[in-house]
Chain A
Amino acid sequence: MCLAVPAKIIELDNQMATVEVGGLTREASTVLLPDAGIGDYVLIHAGFAISVVDEGAARETIRLFDEMTDGAGADD
């Protein structure tokens, strides 16, 4: 029930965003995320954007993993 899907904001008008999820578009409110802007990736839960998905952090997690395991799992 706390499922949230990542989506990209492609239009934004008065705290209602059009977001793209897996090639489909739908509406989501940005009332809970007032600083979200067009182009941002956000997590959508129950029709609301609740958090920005941070690209740098995603990359950092992968880097951290490769560091932990000396890159063992990275290429095979």
Chain B
Amino acid sequence: MTEASPLAYLDEFRDSPRIKELLARLRERRGGPFKIMEVCGTHTMAISRHGIRQAMPDDITLLSGPGCPVCVTSNSDIDTFIEIAASPGVIAASFGDMLRVPGTRMGLAEARSGGADVRIVYSPLDALTMARENPGNAVVFFGVGFETTAPTVAATLLEAAATGVDNFFVHSVHKLVPPALAALCAMPDLAIDAFLCPGHVTAIIGPEAYEPVARDFGIPSVIAGFEPLDIMLSLNMIAAQVDEARAEVELQYTRGVRPGGNPAAMDLMNRVFQPRDTEWRGLGVIPGSGLSIREEFAAHDAVRRFEVDVSYSREPKGCICGQILTGLKTPRDCRLFRKACSPDHPVGPCMVSSEGTCAAYFQYEA
């Protein structure tokens, strides 16, 4: 080995003869048909971009799952943030993906055109800096994301509390992946045979977090990296489990994920947040699947500080994002797809997000 950098292997993870070889192995297998759900939106994008979905043999179906945080955020949570953003003296800070998602009455971008101070941040730390620089304003960060993101928000909130930045608030709609997978498994009309599990969520929570799903529902779970070779290797690992009637948690993404995950990140997340029941678009309310801010940090909790009424919230008419997020339908089943709904005029969040299933199909799976 000449190069000591793990990045030196990147070319090999994108190497197409290797990928073709793995595809050929899937085509040669003689097991029965099965369906794999790719849980993570980043996987959905990679699978669409590299043509992996269409390249699958007829007996293997790849379905997209609920792993796009922007997409699973309910309209009432979005409307709440928009109402807060429109409150006097507020600077609303959000990851960029959220801006063009349509709420019930308007999206964040429209709220900004209407005069609200909405700013895109790359890190929650940027929002904390804004709070320090604007002591006369309340800076409210929209805490959207799974276990990958929640620890970064927790660390930021702890820093705000420790340094007395009392004009920094978080609207936490963070969600947890394992309870959603269990909810999916329990859905009677869904026939998922295996999960392709998210690499970066698992870097935090550890592969062990999927053991209950594998054990209780007999569903194989393979934690995959994001390069085409990672995905193809993982699909072969799943096929082997299905053919051998095993249901285990296996880790393909060994270079990014350690057994046990990241305990320091989990500690910070658990110090700041506690589990709560929360609503997912398409999945409804799932027990213990969300994160609310603990009483100790109530002073930084946006929903305790701002009282808003979003009783008008409803889901966009004609949009079937909810069924797409649960693998029951694909974008092609939506009558608005490519007609009334496109990336320029998105009707639902799955068309907006850079990892939304409708956006992925629109761009790559014509």
Contacts and interface: CB of A to CB of B under 8 A. Distances in A.
A41 B7 contact: yes
A1 B126 contact: no
Contacts of B198: 2
B18 A74 contact: yes
A29 B158 CA distance: 13
B15 interface: yes
Interface in B240-298: 252, 254-258, 262, 264-265, 268
B56 interface: no
B306 to A, nearest CB: 23
Nearest to B17: A73
B229 interface: yes
B195 to A, nearest CB: 15
Nearest to A34: B264
Contacts of A8: 5
Given A1-B70, A57-B255, A65-B229, A46 B6 contact: no
Interface string A21-63: 0000000010111100000010101111011111101111110
B300 interface: no
Given A1-B144, A69-B18, A51 B203 contact: yes
B41 A58 contact: no
Nearest to A69: B21
Main secondary structure of the interface of B (DSSP, over half): helix
Contact of A1 (B17, B22, B95): B95
Contacts of A57: 6, 254-255
Interface in B189-219: 198, 200-201, 203-204
By size class, the interface of chain B is 35 or more
B73 to A, nearest CB: 10
A1 B6 contact: no
Given A2-B41, A31-B155, A65 B233 contact: yes
Nearest to B126: A47
Contacts of B312: none
Nearest to A70: B21
Nearest to A74: B18
B123 interface: yes
B42 A68 contact: no
Nearest to B43: A2
Among A41, A45, A51, A76, the one with the most B-chain Cβ atoms within 10 Å of its Cβ is A51
A6 B144 CA distance: 22
A1 B151 contact: no
By size class, the interface of chain A is 35 or more
Given A62-B12, A69-B18, A50 B5 contact: no
Contact of B151 (A48, A65, A68, A73): A48
A61 B233 contact: yes
Contact of B148 (A50, A55, A58, A65): A50
A51 to B, nearest CB: 4
Given A50-B265, A65-B18, A2 B125 contact: no
Contacts of A52: 258
A48 B148 CA distance: 10
B366 interface: no
Given A1-B97, A1-B355, A61-B252, A41 B146 contact: no
Contacts of B155: 29, 31-32, 48
A27 to B, nearest CB: 9
Contact of A58 (B151, B200, B255, B257): B255
Given A1-B353, A50-B204, A54-B254, A73 B148 contact: no
Nearest to A4: B200
Contacts of A1: 41-42, 68-70, 95, 97, 144-146, 148-149, 353-355
Interface of A: 1-4, 6, 8, 29, 31-34, 41, 43, 45-48, 50-55, 57-62, 64-65, 68-69, 72-74, 76
14 contacts: A2-B41, A2-B198, A32-B155, A32-B268, A45-B149, A46-B122, A46-B152, A50-B151, A51-B200, A51-B256, A53-B255, A57-B254, A68-B25, A69-B21
